[in-house]
Amino acid sequence: MGKTFRARRLPAHGVKAGWAALLPSRKPTPELDRAITADVVVIGAGFAGLAAATRLTELDPSLSVAVIDADVVGNGASGRNSGFLIDLPHDISSGNFGVDAATKSRNEITVARSAIQLYTRLAHTNGWDKDVFDPCGKYSVAMTDAGKEHLAAYSSKLKALGEPHQLLDAAAIADVTGTRSFKSGLFTPGAAMIQPVALVRGIADSFEGSSVTLFERTPALSIETSWCGCAVKTPKGEIRADKVILATNGHAESFGFGRGELLHVFTYASLTEPFDPSVLGGLRKWGATPAAPMGTTVRRINGAEGDRILIRSRYSYNASIEVGSSSMKGASKLHDRKFADRFPELRNLKFQFRWAGAMALTWNTVPLFGELEDRIFSACACNGIGGTKATAAGIAAAELVIGHRSALREIFQAFDKPQKLPPRPLVEVGVRFNLAMREWRAGRE
């Protein structure tokens, strides 16, 4: 007997992200306005959904794949990412894979590098320049003595794993960043930097003429299953398919999946107006994550109109999967302070764009992955590292649907199921307190 899963709410992403504002306008693909059939329908055209569609057609070019998104490509969480594809764990000893620490770390690296390898292939195939995808590595930076000690300890763990890296003293990291605010840095060469909206648009546009059909501004209103397949209903049409891949991250809960298991957390970013590159030394293009996990991420990007600085900091719990104006104002004030602390010579520079992006976390930091119901597969719950983890989940979900075995698929299938959360009032108090404490501990970082 079949089941019906109706969407209780649709995504509301808020103000446009700065990444999209920097790009020329793009004409979206048409919305679905009729009944069609496909072998697989992918709901969500972000990192996970686009990766799933790409991998499906890599494995079987004869498959017909329909991808639908409630918004336009790039306006969702993937286009609000700060643009880091990180290949190494933030904390080598973190997480719980049920195996020893070294194997756990290796699994995390396999997950991340599978995503970066996919984008490397797509960049080569589609001729993307380094403004879209740049395998240039990244830095971690320390503002405090405690942060400096953390980077030194992290360096020791990387050395034990045989991972290449370089510790930088204050003078060396100043040569990179153009500011003397940082006490030390650590460079890891395997990460990539992206313009996230340009990247997801590039994948979407590459589907033209292939067996993948994309429909934007086409929200899924319901998913119906039966013995003969699935029917995904939209405002003006319907897709009948053998299988469904749900790539909606936290909005899986909107269909009833992961209910009582997902934590909806937002992070915030601000991007400055352009400035004359001569007023700040160092490299004109770099990205740095903080020594403390809940600290402040910084990027410098360059363009024809000048250079810009991106600041990402602040986390908030928003069970409604929407952000209010008060949260944006609070994050903006914090960004102003973080920017002035790091770039005192630019303290009069104004921020031009500010935005928020959603993450979906689970209590035990595992994805919501696999066949949730007959014919419905999930690649959701990025746990805060969407660029790589969501992409890898999409790849693994496609391999699961098609029956293709790989080390990546085995890693995802070995994850525990998401743990049930405590009652909602306790969750709200606990998560908000936990986020506040972690940010307090990060301090200047």
Rounded to 10 deg, the angle between the 101-126 and 391-402 helix axes is 90
Is residue 58 a part of any domain in this protein?
Answer: yes
Return d(Cα 286, Cα 202) in angstroms, integer. Answer: 22
Is residue 118 a part of any domain in this protein?
Answer: no
Is residue 344 a part of any domain in this protein?
Answer: yes
Residue 212: strand pairing partners = 65
Is residue 123 a part of any domain in this protein?
Answer: no
- The total of structural domains in the chain comes to 2
Same domain for 140 and 8 = no
Question: What is the CATH classification number for the domain harbouring 414?
Answer: 3.50.50.60
Give 328's Cβ-side CA count (13 Å radius). 16
What pLDDT score does 415 carry? 96
Same domain for 350 and 211 = no
Is residue 103 a part of any domain in this protein?
Answer: no
Same domain for 210 and 348 = no
Same domain for 41 and 19 = yes
Same domain for 176 and 270 = yes
Local confidence band at 438 (pLDDT 50, 70, 90 cut-offs)? confident
What pLDDT score does 95 carry? 39
CB 34 within 8 A of CB 235: no
Digit-coded pLDDT (tens) for 398-419: 999 999 999 999 999 999 999 9
Average pLDDT over residues 121-133: 97
Same domain for 251 and 167 = no
Residue 224, pLDDT > 80, answer yes
Same domain for 368 and 251 = yes
Q: Provide the domain limits for residue 64.
A: 4-81+197-262+363-429
Express as a percent the part of the chain with pLDDT over 90. Answer: 86
Same domain for 66 and 18 = yes
Return d(Cα 67, Cα 398) in angstroms, integer. Answer: 13
All residues at 6 or more sequence positions from 326 whose CB lies less than 8 Å from its CB, including other chains? none
Is residue 303 a part of any domain in this protein?
Answer: yes
Is residue 323 a part of any domain in this protein?
Answer: yes
CB 257 within 8 A of CB 107: no
Same domain for 75 and 31 = yes
Local confidence band at 430 (pLDDT 50, 70, 90 cut-offs)? confident
Q: How far is CA 309 from CA 99, 268, 274, 279, in A?
A: 40, 14, 8, 13
Same domain for 353 and 329 = yes
Digit-coded pLDDT (tens) for 270-318: 999 999 999 999 999 999 999 988 899 999 999 989 999 999 999 999 9
| DSSP strand pairing (368-373 vs 351-362) | unpaired
Same domain for 242 and 228 = yes
Residue 385, pLDDT > 90, answer no
Is residue 98 a part of any domain in this protein?
Answer: no
Return d(Cα 272, Cα 307) in angstroms, integer. Answer: 9
SS3 of residue 25 by DSSP: coil
Q: Which residue has the higher pLDDT, 94 or 286?
A: 286
Same domain for 187 and 39 = no
CB 366 within 8 A of CB 21: no
Average pLDDT over residues 233-261: 97
Measure the CA dihedral 376/75/56/391, to 10°: -90
Rounded to 10 deg, the angle between the 47-59 and 196-206 helix axes is 30
Question: What is the CATH classification number for the domain harbouring 185?
Answer: 3.30.9.10
